[in-house]
Amino acid sequence: MFSSAKIKLDKSLVDRIRKFSEIAGYASPEEFITHALEKELAHLEDADSEEEIKKRLQGLGYMS
C-alpha cells in the first residue's frame, strides 16, 4: 500500500520544480521529486561505510 507524507518546501523551490518537471516530461512535480530523491538515495546507498556517506553528504553541502 502506498502512503503519502506532506513536506513543506519554499515557494521558489516549488516553482522551479514545476518548471523543470514539465520541461523534462514528468507527469507531475511529485514524480520529478520522487525520481530525484530515489536517484540521490541510490547514490548514497552505494557507499561502503557510514563515514563515506557522511563525506558524500558534506560534499553536497548537507553536512558541515
- Classify the C-alpha dihedral 51-55-61-64 as positive or negative: positive
DSSP state of 18: H
Q: Which residue has the higher pLDDT, 49 or 10?
A: 10
- The answer to whether residue 36 sits within a structural domain is yes
Q: Does residue 3 surpass a pLDDT of 50?
A: yes
pTM (two decimals): 0.68
Alpha carbon 45 to its chain's center: 14
User: Range of 17's domain?
Assistant: 11-59
Per the structure block, which three cell numbers stand in for 23?
520541461
What pLDDT score does 28 carry?
A: 95
44/52 Cα distance (integer angstroms): 9
pLDDT tens column, 16-56? 999 999 999 999 999 999 999 999 888 888 777 777 777 77
Q: Does residue 59 surpass a pLDDT of 90?
A: no
Number of domains in the chain: 1
- The answer to whether residue 2 sits within a structural domain is no
Give the closest residue to 38 by CA, choosing from 26, 50, 49.
26
pLDDT tier for residue 64 given thresholds of 50, 70 and 90: low
